[in-house]
Amino acid sequence: MISPSDSLADGMTLVSNDGSFELGFFTPGSSKNRYLGIWYKNIPMQTVVWVANRINPINDSTGSLKIETTGRVVLQGQNRTIVWSINSSTEGARNPILKLLDSGNLVVKDGNSENYLWQSFDYPTDTMLPGMKIGWDLRIGVSRRLAAWKNPDDPSPGDLTYGVELEGNPGNPELVIRKGSVKYVRSGLWNGEGFTGSQVPRNNPVFTYDFVWNEEEVYYTFFLKHKAVMSRVFLNQTEGVMDRYTWNPETQTWNLFFTIPNDYCDRSYGLCGANADCDSSKFPVCQCLKAFKPKSPESWNSADWSQGCIHNKPLNCQSGDKFMRIKSVKTPDATHSWVNRSMDLEECRTRCLKNCSCMAYTGLSIIGRGSGCAMWFGDLMDIKQYESVGQDLYIRVSASESEGLKHKHNMKIGLIIATPLAVLLGLLLVIYYYIMRSRGKLIDKGENEDLELEIFELGTISRATDGFSSNNKLGQGGFGPVYKAWKLWKEGRPLELADDFLADSDNLSESDQVLRCIHISLLCLQQHPDGRPSMSSVVVMLGSEIEFPLPKEPGSSNIVMAQGAEVEAYLPWAASYPALGPSRTPLT
């Protein structure tokens, strides 16, 4: 620190307690002038963040900084000429000192008091540091603004500035970058969560920011989330942008985190004229608002959008206008606006509707259920369309125009619903087509396989069947396997019908059981239904050791079975089971 008994001469420096920042004299770029400034101490690349005598440089190395007993700070040059000073004298200050804080803030205070008599953060140059306030102290009427260097060799103020501007009535705040007296970039309104025209998320890995708006102060500030991180906001006159940088300790360089303006729509204030919005994702970028048309179609079609747009249908306040909602926009320029922080959105709508000059309204805060009211009068300027960020804006249109827009909206909803249904139906038809086509391929494949069977000539088949003799006929239709079983039974080879495991069994009882099953099966295949055992008879037969009659050849068209009394003679086993009798229900 520097006390009234000390001074800081050119070649000497004052360092913050943690070694983060350093105060001293420096020469920028190729200039030969000397300036008193503050820069980062612990990085190899000298990065100046504040300059005291940016308007009055010292042309030699005779500079000296001191603080007087009254608290007045004086920077002297050659022949003790005062080139810069601050008057921080306050009654009762007994031990004024000049100290550089770890935040990079140079302060004048009375001894160990925590109250600052003066601080450099109230007089920023081209750089915003964490904890610095950009905006208004309404108690003393001071506006803290950034002003870029003219060029890298000259830290005197350029025409690129950045700060909070209170516009409209009673002062609707926006962050504004200007080139001279001309607006360059606006932030849009603060809605409690962020600025409607900012795409920088409040929840990001580097910093968090806040906007304070009360009767005493209106300011923007930011804080770093991690103490080890170094980040700064820098106003660049040469590029005409405002950049945020973070320090990369590995590469020992500043990395660009984001820049403003960052797209075509922000590079020219009011690019699309009145009552139009700018959307950098579209071509052309300028579109008239819904219910509006180009004021000069010829100019508009020639990409000269400066004349803006007018209502499709004239307003008729007395007969009842309505409001149309536009989603996700940067709110219009606040120059001709009015705000009330206690009203709700419905009250805001009612008040705007009663005032024929009110062209649009929205809520001031989106936190919770929302609160506050902002209204715009006259043409709506510098609206920007976003995909998801931004805020809803309610624009005044004629009642007839509103009905037309409502009809179009309903048609749009119908299309939105019908389109996926049509796509789904088409998809189902495609699936059905491929299923049926696959089935057709399977059938075709089966037919093709049938065609690949070995083909015999008629003479060969005739010789093999002895002229198609009935003696060689195993059966007809679907009874071929049945007659094969009958043939093996007659030839004494019925076990060939059984599974090899059963047929080869050494257990005679198992083989007998297999033969018994085959025997009963053939009895169940007799031609006449009355000649077949019932199911209950089959159960008894399987569990008994009584001998059964030999089966006759399975049913065929040339066999006629006995009827009535002859059945019992034909089926001698029926007498052994009089309670069961022959089957009256065919076994199939």
For every residue of 497-547, DSSP letters joined together read: GS-HHHHT-S-HHHHHHHHHHHHHHHHTT-SSGGGSB-HHHHHHHHT--PP
Long-range contacts (CB closer than 8 Å, 24 or more residues apart) made by 183-186: 183/269, 183/270, 183/333, 183/382, 184/160, 184/240, 184/261, 184/269, 185/242, 185/260, 185/261, 185/266, 185/269, 186/269, 186/330, 186/333, 186/382
Number of H helices and E strands in the chain, helices first, is 10, 33
Instruction: Judge contact between 194 and 222, C-beta under 8 A.
Output: no
**DSSP H or E segment with residue 179:** strand 172-179
Cα gap 208→170, rounded to integer Å = 28
Cα gap 149→237, rounded to integer Å = 6
| Per-chain mean pLDDT for the chain | 85
Token reading at 580? 């069961």
Coil/strand/helix, residue 493: coil
28: nearest Cα among 11, 56, 51, 12: 51
Per-residue pLDDT, 221 = 97
What is the percent of the chain with per-residue pLDDT over 90, rounded to a whole number?
58
Task: Tell me the domain boundaries of the chain.
Answer: 1-123, 125-262, 291-405, 477-576
Q: 1-123 belongs to which CATH class?
A: mainly beta
Instruction: Judge contact between 105 and 119, C-beta under 8 A.
Output: yes
Per-residue pLDDT, 115 = 86
Token reading at 274? 């009145």
The 10s digit of each residue's pLDDT in 109-139 is 998 888 899 999 999 999 999 999 999 999 9
Q: Which residues of 549-575 are buried (b: 16+ CB within 10 A; e: fewer)?
A: eebbbbbeeeeeeeeeeebbebbebbe
Q: Is the pTM for the entire model greater than 0.85?
A: no
Torsion of the alpha carbons at 314, 315, 320 and 326, rounded to the nearest 10: 110
Give the pLDDT band (50/70/90) at residue 577.
very low
The 10s digit of each residue's pLDDT in 74-92 is 999 998 999 999 987 666 6
Cα gap 308→552, rounded to integer Å = 106
- When pLDDT is averaged across residues 568-586 and rounded to a whole number, the result is 44
**Least reliable range by pLDDT among 158-162, 263-267, 318-322, 530-534:** 530-534
- When pLDDT is averaged across residues 200-210 and rounded to a whole number, the result is 89
Tell whether the torsion through CA atoms of 534, 536, 539 and 544 is positive or negative: negative
Cα gap 146→161, rounded to integer Å = 5
Give the pLDDT band (50/70/90) at residue 402.
low
Cα gap 497→518, rounded to integer Å = 9
The 10s digit of each residue's pLDDT in 529-570 is 777 887 777 777 777 777 777 787 776 534 444 344 444 444
Token reading at 403? 């009905």
Per-residue pLDDT, 123 = 96
